[in-house]
Copies of this chain bind each other. A is one copy, B any other.
Amino acid sequence: MISFTIKNVMIAVDNDYATVDVQIVDGAIAAISPNLQVIGTAIDGKNKLLLPGFFNAHTHSSEMWQRGIMSVFPLELWLAELYDFAPLDTEKVYLSALGTAVETLLSGGTSVVDHLVLIPGLELETIAIATRAYREVGIRAFIAPLIQDESLSAGMPSGESAQSHEPYFRSTAATLEIIEEAVRQFHRPDEGVSILVAPTGIQLCTDALFKGCIELSDRYNLCRHSHLLETKAQEKLAQEKYGCTAVEHLKRIGFLSDRTTLAHCVWLNDADIAILAETQSTVVHNPLSNLRLGSGIAPILKYRQAGVNVTFGCDGASSNDSQDLLEAIKIGSILHNVTDSDYQHWITPRQAIEMASLGGAKGFNLADKLGSLTVGKQADLVLYDLTNLSLLPRTDPIGLLVLGRPSNVVDSAWVNGKQIVADGKVTTINVDDLRQELFNRSQWETKRKSETVAQIEAHYRIVMGL
């Protein structure tokens, strides 16, 4: 039974702040009010702000091994380079999951959604080791094994040419069997680890794979996760493949639902947006990778106006190249001001905070349990130190947090009531050892030459009219 009481802490109320005590009993929020009795440990909340933990609602942890070095390329060429140099051992997967968890936590996230790249032939081992890493750190983990059943070259529109693609190395049925086995072994929502069905996207998946995922989702009550229309090339491809938009197709086959989260959503038209609203699907906005890869600016203000739920992700560290969630929230808020001259539609800092917390909880079917400071909800909480230089002078704490560039501001974090950050440091693992391991297993290098890029670049430029 974990119980503690945070004394004299600022929380957000309506358009103001209040200073209160917050009682946590047995991992849940038991009371929020001034002058509460201390139950369990007393935590000093003075000059601190308490917020619900945020969701890093889309990332690929093992991309951390290639951050900083990927060429300045659009997604299709970038992917080819990424896979030419992807790491292939589970120890690296373990370390990068730890690193992703730590960076997410220290920027306000208490949940991470890892669209996890699986090592071919070691699929369950990859899931096992990532699960172990997240359990060790104690962050809430949504592990979304990244699956496909078409080879990488199928992900590019063929244009005028007749392209044929090598078959994918593993059958659709075998892939679905791996996911079902992962659910049996690792899906423990009450312990903070959930497995999602997560086809990579329409560009590399057959309908059979999508339908198999839907069936597993229904049978085991799993959330669904996928990339959706990240690039203009994918919009073209959907038309070639289905003769309609990707969203229309996904609706038709039944993939969209109130527990479906869709990463990117850059190239949707108004009818597509209406479908997302109608199906209560959630958009995961990854503003930084959308810029870095030149994918485009997702129409987030339109989503909000249409009533589509939106939350934020860092995306994998090869396309961002950080896992700082506060950075994603800042840029994911202010970026859209240039897309609509009417400032009354712009995202305010308080709205951004709600998107990052309750928006994530909704997307993963947990709005009744997470995402706000509400009595009865589980204690996934973050306490921010408001005396840090980056949050001074004192003005509006949430404005400073969202629109500033806070660093070293997370004082404490709890997941399900368990404290995993204290005094600004992760308490569950040794971060210095992690740094040493990451250092030892890597080397400084300059740009590399990707053979696959050399093979496909000319075709890409033709198809995209470059």
Size category, A interface:
35 or more
Partner of A232, one of B64, B296, B341, B431: B341
Query: A99 to B347, alpha carbons, bound, how many Å?
Result: 28
Interchain CB contact under 8 A, B395 and A444: yes
Interface set, chain A 64-82, CB cutoff 8 A to B: 64-70, 72-74, 77
How far is the CB of A413 from the nearest CB of chain B, in Å?
A: 16
Chain B residues whose CB sits within 8 angstroms of the CB of A376 once the complex forms = none
Interface set, chain A 368-421, CB cutoff 8 A to B: 386-397, 399-401, 403-405, 407-408
Between A and B, 5 residue pairs with Cβ closer than 8 Å are A68-B401, A294-B340, A389-B431, A393-B439, A394-B438
One of A139-147, A200-208, A257-265, A285-293 contacting the partner: A285-293
Task: Answer yes or no: A441 CB below 8 A from chain B CBs.
Answer: yes
Chain B residues whose CB sits within 8 angstroms of the CB of A338 once the complex forms = 290-291, 294-297
Interchain CB contact under 8 A, A72 and B348: yes
Most buried by B among A387, A388, A465: A387
Query: A327 to B315, alpha carbons, bound, how many Å?
Result: 18
Interchain CB contact under 8 A, A321 and B72: no
Query: A292 to B72, alpha carbons, bound, how many Å?
Result: 25
Chain B residues whose CB sits within 8 angstroms of the CB of A388 once the complex forms = 435
- 16 new A-B contacts, CB < 8 A, other than A327-B405, A394-B445, A397-B444, are A15-B447, A67-B400, A68-B395, A68-B397, A69-B395, A69-B399, A72-B349, A74-B341, A103-B390, A292-B403, A324-B405, A324-B407, A341-B464, A387-B435, A387-B439, A394-B444
Partner of A343, one of B72, B102, B401: B72
Partner of A334, one of B66, B102, B291: B291
Most buried by B among A294, A395, A408, A443: A395
Binding site for B on A (CB under 8 A): 10, 15-17, 64-70, 72-74, 77, 96, 99, 102-103, 232, 288, 290-297, 317, 320-322, 324, 327, 331, 334-335, 337-338, 340-343, 346-349, 386-397, 399-401, 403-405, 407-408, 431, 434-435, 438-439, 441-447, 464-466
Chain B residues whose CB sits within 8 angstroms of the CB of A392 once the complex forms = 99, 435, 438-439, 442
Interchain CB contact under 8 A, A444 and B290: no
Copies of this chain, count: 2
Chain B residue with minimal CB distance to A107?
B405
Chain B residue with minimal CB distance to A335?
B291
How far is the CB of A165 from the nearest CB of chain B, in Å?
A: 24
Chain B residues whose CB sits within 8 angstroms of the CB of A443 once the complex forms = 394
Interchain CB contact under 8 A, A16 and B396: no
Chain B residues whose CB sits within 8 angstroms of the CB of A400 once the complex forms = 67-68, 321
Interchain CB contact under 8 A, A389 and B69: no
Interchain CB contact under 8 A, B446 and A396: yes
Interchain CB contact under 8 A, B68 and A403: yes
Interchain CB contact under 8 A, B292 and A396: no
Chain B residues whose CB sits within 8 angstroms of the CB of A405 once the complex forms = 322, 324, 327
How far is the CB of A325 from the nearest CB of chain B, in Å?
A: 10
Chain B residue with minimal CB distance to A399?
B68
Interchain CB contact under 8 A, B69 and A445: no
Chain B residues whose CB sits within 8 angstroms of the CB of A404 once the complex forms = 67-68, 317, 320-322
Query: A439 to B391, alpha carbons, bound, how many Å?
Result: 9
How far is the CB of A359 from the nearest CB of chain B, in Å?
A: 18
Interchain CB contact under 8 A, A322 and B390: yes
Query: A465 to B341, alpha carbons, bound, how many Å?
Result: 9
